[in-house]
Amino acid sequence: MTHDEQRTQFRNAMASLAAAVNVITTDGPHGRCGITASAVCSVTDSPPTMLICINQSSYVHDVLHGNGRVCINVLGAQGQEPARVFAGMTGCSMQARFDQCAWHAGRLAVP
């Protein structure tokens, strides 16, 4: 099996794992953006800490890091469309992603 075939097989297997789907959002001096992520987990409750894995080559990574504030929006079964939109599957711009849903700013002014 070639490396590409192994990679494809691994990705297909991981896509079959059950995981919570989240839209990670941020807003601040580096801009407003969001991304769909399933690589999210709790680390500790003292202080409350979450781990979010975002590919460093993604421009969203730099915006999230630059703003320093994020909101983890956990989606339910009815959240399939926002998950698709923020995963970039619809090809719409970042602003259009936010325009498709009603957002409320949280305590840290993050959608």
Buried-state track 17-52, b at ≥16 Cβ within 10 A, e below 16: eeeebbbbbbbbeeebbbbbbbebeeeeeeeeeeee
Structure tokens at 75: 């989606």
pLDDT digit string, tens, across residues 80-100: 999 999 999 999 999 999 998
Domains in the chain with CATH codes: 17-97 (2.30.110.10)
More confident residue, 53 or 17: 53
pTM: 0.82
pLDDT digit string, tens, across residues 39-85: 899 999 999 999 999 999 999 999 999 999 999 999 998 899 999 99
